[in-house]
Amino acid sequence: MSRPTGPAPGSGQTLSVMDFGADPTGTRDTTASLRQALDRAKQEPGAALVFPAGRYILSDPMAVALMNDAMAGKLGRNPQHTVFKPYFPHAKGLDFRNAHDLTVQAADVTLVCDGWFEPLSIRDCSGVTITGLTLDYRR
């Protein structure tokens, strides 16, 4: 799989999630690698974070536990009455908080979410562009 090259706007820094150990085959959890790559990219305003085409599994123990509890009926017949309330504790997949002038290049990329969580949390950011990304859930 080829990955886009060339300078990002601003810093000119181009980072690939592959350099952090991400797995685009969809066969293993790659959450830690993706989080590490994003944290590094957030330190470089103007950088590009590149995802080579593929399927990346994004998981979190808190999110899996929430999903399992809901599916087992532990949150009532309709879990939305419990879960969708302000400040209900929840997991975040990739936290973009405080990212500035960051471009995410993710053509033909699917994040496969394992568990119920906020796949992308984008708060207190400016100039964040995400292209080509598809979100899907295992269940």
Question: Which residue type does 113 have?
Answer: C
99-138 pLDDT, tens per residue? 999 999 999 999 999 998 889 999 999 999 999 999 999 8
Q: Is 129 exposed, middle or buried (0-12, 13-18, 19+ CB in 10 A)?
A: exposed
34-89 pLDDT, tens per residue? 999 999 999 998 999 999 999 999 999 998 888 888 889 998 888 888 888 878 88
